[in-house]
Amino acid sequence: MAPPSPPPPTKAQTRLIRRTWERVTEKRLEKDNPNVSASYAFGKAFYKTLFVLEPQLQSIFTNTLQQARVLTGILSYIARAPSVMPERYKDFASIKDMNSSISSPPPPPASSSSSSSSSSSSSSSSLLSDSHQHHVKQGVDEGDENELNKEEEAWMAERLQELGARHADYKGFQESMFDHVGPALVEALQRRLDSEYEPHIGEAWLKAHDYVSFHMKKGLKSRLVWEEALADDHTKHYQYKKLHQQRRRSSGASATTGSAAKASNCSIQ
């Protein structure tokens, strides 16, 4: 029996993922090259770890433009970005909540003494600021009442399965490669968030990744099974055709022999 789907990340975790992603795209570290954006630096950290975990991927991701596109795709699905959710669901209260949670800014810090690391460019939005941390923590606790409804979840799982099935087209792609994406994302988060990184952030990202890759793998597997069955059908069809032709040829031959025999019989008579 197929293993059950892991639960999707709660909305609070999705919000946390989006906030950490926003933070990653603005946070610069002292050692950063000033000509390179924070998102690019995250991408570099992500692919660096990915290539250590799975060296074969280097031959698949050979250009940075393609890499950036793939990473953006991965992140949009993991963060359940509105771009990957259907237009019609925007009418659902829960999706509205989800969208408004992105546009509403995080609450102001409780005190001006928020932890300002020397490497952080804007300490007021630091994930370590007391109020933000409290908000995030509160969000995670509230999460269970706030999950995707059944219809939204079914829709999301279906999209992820289609996405996974499309990955069969990417040359050199193997199912096991999915397993390295989660750890590479967490490692990149740790490097880029630096002192702002906390274990519950990594947990939220890994939970989202587990859910996404479960459904992508499922879609990939069903496509491969389907293609195998099709190939099998083609082989069977080809074998049947060959057998049929052979039979026709041999029955044609025996028919000729038969008629020759008949003719010779006739001639005897």
- Least distance (Å) from ligand HEM to the CB of residue 58? 10
- Least distance (Å) from ligand HEM to the CB of residue 37? 20
Between 135 and 167, CB nearer to ligand HEM: 167
Between 148 and 216, CB nearer to ligand HEM: 216
Between 73 and 252, CB nearer to ligand HEM: 73
150-155-157 Cα angle (round to 5): 95
Between 95 and 208, CB nearer to ligand HEM: 208
- Least distance (Å) from ligand HEM to the CB of residue 143? 21
Q: Would you tell me which residues interact with ligand HEM (CB under 6 A)? A: 57, 60, 66, 69-70, 73-74, 77, 163, 166-167, 170, 173, 177-178, 181, 209, 212-213, 216
240 class by beta-carbon count within 10 Å (0-12 exposed, 13-18 middle, 19+ buried): exposed
184-140-8 Cα angle (round to 5): 60
- Least distance (Å) from ligand HEM to the CB of residue 56? 8
Between 35 and 83, CB nearer to ligand HEM: 83
- Least distance (Å) from ligand HEM to the CB of residue 152? 18
Burial 53-73 (b: 16+ CB within 10 A, else e): ebeebeebbeeeeebeebbee
Among 152, 128, 166, smallest CA distance to 9 is for 152
- Least distance (Å) from ligand HEM to the CB of residue 73? 3
User: Which amino acid belongs to residue 181?
Assistant: V
Between 72 and 99, CB nearer to ligand HEM: 72
Give the span between the Cα atoms of 117 and 105, in whole angstroms. 21
Between 187 and 196, CB nearer to ligand HEM: 187
Handedness of CA 96, 70, 207, 21 (dihedral sign): negative
Give the span between the Cα atoms of 197 and 174, in whole angstroms. 31
Q: How far is CA 2 from the centre of its chain?
A: 19
Residue nearest to ligand HEM (CB): 73
Among 2, 6, 5, smallest CA distance to 207 is for 6
- Least distance (Å) from ligand HEM to the CB of residue 213? 5
